[in-house]
Structure 1
Amino acid sequence: MIKSKTVFIVGAGASAEVKLPVGEQLKKIISDKLNIKFDDFGSKIRSGDTQIASFMRQEFGQSLNRYLHACWKISDGVGLAGSIDDFIDTHQDDPDVATCGKIAIARSILEAEKSSHLFFKMENISDTINFGSLQKTWYMPFIELLTQGVSRTEVKTVFNNVAVICFNYDRCIEHFMLHALMARYSIEKQEAAEVVTGLKIIHPYGIVGQYFDKPGEMTVPFGSSAIPHLHSTLSNLRTYTEEVTDTDSLNAMKNAVAESEISVFLGTAFHPNNMRIMSDGLGQPVVKRVYATTAGISDENKSMIKDDIGVLFRGAKHVGINFATTCSDLFSRYSMHLRR
């Protein structure tokens, strides 16, 4: 059980521990998927993602060629950008690039969910995640931390002092928590879903599809092979250079940061825009301790991260900043600290 108010700020590196692609990998996947070429008769696809091509044919009809040009732009240039989001931002004057980019993001993330250590084929009601494959990830110590000292009758209190700000499009946390609680407490899926939907989890840039049932919205299974409806894809996903206008999400995010005594950065790149939307309009935080992963970040850049964290928390002199490499390393080093 976590006794202090704690916010977990989650980036792509956290999902990478269960084998979702990040950085260069994701750019390469998207580039390959959008290199859509047909044979001379236009009937058979020679390269690119067959499902995206079929989806676009159905959605765009006679305008397909126009969107194919946007796909080729992305395929040719995304490798030279920091990320797909950066590339879309560069081409703000071309809305077709954003449309095709988001279709590719949705397809790539859903496919990545299916290839991850969290996916399983639900052929029988008793089927679940292979938790043994997660032993070297942060997911296992996280669920241990949350549930330690919490009895079956108190399961609804598991997330009482916890909030999550997740900058990823995937639903790895929701999926893991649902099945982990079912296994940990021997409870039915419906009861576990009620507990997990009570978790304050904010996705500032949206998700590839609703994971839990929500009135008026279609659910998208974890690792779905189908691309969600175009309108859902475009409305559910925002790149980090698009303005976050969901007031409820913004307020929930700022409240989570402002009220937390402990802040934990898991697999984030400390992107300036992400730090900005958390800090804009934020009152004086009460944070006492900060923990952050810095895998792939040089010692020289760590000093800048300290400055960025200082700006987020209004330069509070009393804040102690503790670094670890990976997410699993952070929980291994600081699990006792996080319980208090």
Structure 2
Amino acid sequence: MIRTKTTLVIGAGASCELQMPGSADLLARVVQGYDFTRLGTPQQSRESGILVRHLMKHAEQLGRGHREMVDASQVLRNAARVGRSIDTIIDQYDHDPLVVAAGKIAVAFLIGQAETRANLKESPRTPGELPLLGKPEETWLYWLGQLFTSGLPRSKLERAFSDLTIVCFNYDRAIEHYLPFALVMAYGMDLKDAQKLVAERLVIYHPYGTVGRLPWQQGQEAQAEWAGSEQPWNIHAIASQIRTHSERLADRDWLHRLRLSVAEAKRLVFLGFGFAPQNMELLFDRSLSHNPEVVATVHGIPEGTRRLVARLLKRHCGLEHDDLLVMDPARAFEVARDYALLLES
């Protein structure tokens, strides 16, 4: 059970533990998917064939020509070959709605496809088990479930998420899909009751949107089952739910709520997060003044860059004492496991 007001910030590095694509991998898949040089030949990739159909359908919905939409996808593809992340590339073309649309369609398709291939499945192989294949204990989600349930009686289950806010910069719905199964296994409760609890109590922000609302979640957005299909019938509606950095900055009410969740936290935990400037801008509009504890994974980040990350975190979080900042080169699941005593305190 988490007993200190905590905001958990999740980046692509954490999703990699579920066999989901990281930033570089997703960019590579965009480049491959929008490679139309082999269209109509035996060498045509399945992904390219699907994506070009989605582009043409979108062009028809807009009353634009197929060629215009395909050309926009090639502009995006070229940018992806030199970019750092798909979200920054989509945002830098905010002047061209067709390029933005091509980017959002690619994200909707490729992340939806990745969910079908992840080691987090739609349901457990055996009822009552977790829907994680392989070694569940080598995923941060496994330890997150323990953080929520350890030391928490069933009679007080409504408090499971009361001191936590999650900010997930990934497009997938892994957190929302997994947590009900963790509650089922921990408390022997009905899955629908667990889903209802998560839907009503868990506070989670996705700055760049998601590839659809899970059917049991509240809201009016387009629905998509976890790992339901690589080609959902409503993929264009799902793509419209992807958000850019500029779109989020323009949504002042949403941005205020997000930043308030960070500013009010007594503990900030970053797992698999890359500390990109545009993402830090969404989290902070000024330095914090209350000296929160900060725990951050820096797995895969070069030593020199880690020192810069430490300076950024100290400045943004207003840290006056070095012992308030813990930076660990371990993977997300290792930090969630090894720091459990601190995170539950």
TM-score in same-fold range (> 0.5): yes
Name the structure 1 match of 2:303.
299
Name the structure 2 match of 1:110.
112
Helix, strand or coil: the match of 1:244?
helix
Name the structure 2 match of 1:220.
224
Alpha-carbon offset, residue 121 of structure 1? 5.8
- Using the alignment, how far apart are the partners of 2:210 and 2:269 within structure 1? 21
Helix, strand or coil: the match of 1:144?
helix
Q: How does 1:166-245 map to 2 (within 5 A)?
A: 166-197=168-199, 198-211=201-214, 212-225=216-229, 226-227=231-232, 229=234, 232-245=237-250
> Percent identical across equivalent pairs?
27
Q: How big is each residue's C-alpha offset from its partner over 1:128-181, in whole Å with a ceiling of 9 and x where there is no partner?
A: 603653221111122112101112222221111111011111101101112211
Name the structure 2 match of 1:334.
339
Alpha-carbon offset, residue 310 of structure 1? 1.7
Alpha-carbon offset, residue 125 of structure 1? 7.6
| Gap change, CA 1:77 and 1:119, over 3 Å in 2 | same
- Using the alignment, how far apart are the partners of 1:291 and 1:123 within structure 2? 35
- Aligned partner of 2:234: which letter? H
Please provide the CA RMSD for this pair. Answer: 2.6
Q: Structure 2: give runs of 5+ residues left out of the alignment.
A: none
Equivalent residues, number: 336
- Aligned partner of 1:257: which letter? V
- Aligned partner of 2:27: which letter? K
Name the structure 2 match of 1:21.
21
| Gap change, CA 1:160 and 1:22, over 3 Å in 2 | same
Name the structure 1 match of 2:262.
257
Q: Is the 8 A contact 1:278 1:312 kept in 2?
A: no
Helix, strand or coil: the match of 1:111?
helix
| Gap change, CA 1:2 and 1:113, over 3 Å in 2 | same
Q: How does 1:102-141 map to 2 (within 5 A)?
A: 102-120=104-122, 129-130=131-132, 133-141=135-143
Name the structure 2 match of 1:313.
317
Alpha-carbon offset, residue 264 of structure 1? 0.3
User: Quick check: 1:39 aligned with 2:44?
Assistant: no
Q: Is the 8 A contact 1:128 1:179 kept in 2?
A: yes
Stretch of structure 1 that moved more, 229-238 or 160-169: 229-238
Alpha-carbon offset, residue 241 of structure 1? 4.8
Alpha-carbon offset, residue 231 of structure 1? 5.3
Q: TM-score, normalised by structure 2?
A: 0.88
Q: How does 1:136-151 map to 2 (within 5 A)?
A: 136-151=138-153
Alpha-carbon offset, residue 66 of structure 1? 1.0
> Which of these residues, 96, 99, 103, is aligned with residue 98 of structure 2?
96
Q: How big is each residue's C-alpha offset from its partner over 1:185-235, in whole Å with a ceiling of 9 and x where there is no partner?
A: 121222111221211111122111112343533321112323463653343
Alpha-carbon offset, residue 256 of structure 1? 1.5
Helix, strand or coil: the match of 1:135?
helix
Stretch of structure 1 that moved more, 201-210 or 86-95: 86-95
Q: How does 1:44-63 map to 2 (within 5 A)?
A: 46-47=44-45, 48-61=47-60, 63=65
Helix, strand or coil: the match of 2:81?
helix
| Gap change, CA 1:241 and 1:217, over 3 Å in 2 | closer
- Aligned partner of 1:53: which letter? V
Stretch of structure 1 that moved more, 321-330 or 81-90: 81-90
Q: TM-score, normalised by structure 1?
A: 0.89
- Aligned partner of 1:55: which letter? H
Stretch of structure 1 that moved more, 141-150 or 115-124: 115-124
Name the structure 2 match of 1:273.
278
Stretch of structure 1 that moved more, 178-187 or 88-97: 88-97
Q: Is the 8 A contact 2:5 2:265 kept in 1?
A: yes
- Aligned partner of 1:176: which letter? Y
Helix, strand or coil: the match of 1:280?
coil
Q: Is the 8 A contact 1:287 1:313 kept in 2?
A: yes
- Using the alignment, how far apart are the partners of 1:35 and 1:55 within structure 2? 14
- Using the alignment, how far apart are the partners of 1:231 and 1:281 within structure 2? 36
Stretch of structure 1 that moved more, 46-55 or 109-118: 46-55
